[in-house]
Chain A
């Protein structure tokens, strides 16, 4: 199998202000745009980034402001790897947290659908977390082939 090569990468760190959820989406989609994704692919990626960053904002840094690091790597086989990392409170049981409708939100306004949406929008999702240390979400998606131009 041909080894894929990373052709471009970026890393950005943002404080966990909720206003930065849209900034994170905009930055990642602007960077991924150089691979010419379809409108739907870009919408899927935006939503996945939004979910991961919101998890860090709402759960990782509940009642405090901390840094959220977002790394994006683009590969020559048109795949995208996005990493969202925080040094927040972490998740006790990742498997349970990833179940649809699971939420720890006290005011009941979170749907608990974040990880479920990421799983639907991306090809792979891996979540690593240590209570008290933080959470790292890695998601990958392979973009469709570009239409052949004559």
Chain B
């Protein structure tokens, strides 16, 4: 059964996490894109994390979604990261060379220096 693409928001300190679930294709990405942008405009966080741990499918539309949010975050002077992609999602991110453009973090959003990712 198809899993609708949804987004759930969490705020921790001044970091907004958008946890994306379901299938991120062109149809799904279109549904959640505006929701994420709206939440960012309302909350005005210092950092934005897209949590991909519960994404069951992603194609190049997901890349577009990530790049679009990254450029908006950059314009607003916010830090940005993508977290916990599954192996399948990671494969797509790697093929698109996303690791050279955005920060991809795994685990508890902390990088190797023990600092928060965003």
Contacts and interface: CB of A to CB of B under 8 A. Distances in A.
Given A43-B88, A47-B92, A120-B95, A54 B63 contact: no
A111 B63 contact: yes
Given A108-B68, A109-B64, A111-B64, A54 B23 contact: no
A25 interface: yes
Tell me the dominant secondary structure on chain A's binding face: helix
Contacts of A22: 2, 23, 25, 27-28, 57
Contact of A111 (B23, B30, B57, B67): B67
B29 A109 contact: yes
Interface residues of B, number: 23
A23 B64 CA distance: 21
Contacts of A114: 59-60
Interface string A87-126: 0000000000000000000001111111011001000000
A117 to B, nearest CB: 5
Interface residues on A, range: 20 to 34
Contacts of B26: 18, 21, 54, 57-58
Interface in B47-69: 57, 59-61, 63-65, 67-68
Contacts of B65: 109
A64 to B, nearest CB: 16
Contacts of B110: none
A113 B94 CA distance: 12
B63 A25 contact: no
Given A22-B23, A46-B57, 6 more contacts: A21-B25, A21-B27, A25-B57, A26-B2, A109-B68, A110-B60
Interface of A: 18-19, 21-23, 25-26, 43, 46-47, 50-51, 54, 57-58, 108-114, 116-117, 120
27 contacts: A19-B27, A21-B25, A21-B26, A22-B2, A22-B25, A23-B2, A25-B57, A26-B2, A43-B91, A46-B57, A47-B59, A50-B59, A51-B59, A51-B60, A54-B59, A58-B26, A108-B68, A109-B29, A109-B33, A110-B61, A113-B60, A114-B60, A116-B60, A116-B95, A117-B60, A117-B95, A120-B95
Interface of B: 2, 23, 25-30, 33, 57, 59-61, 63-65, 67-68, 88, 91-92, 95-96
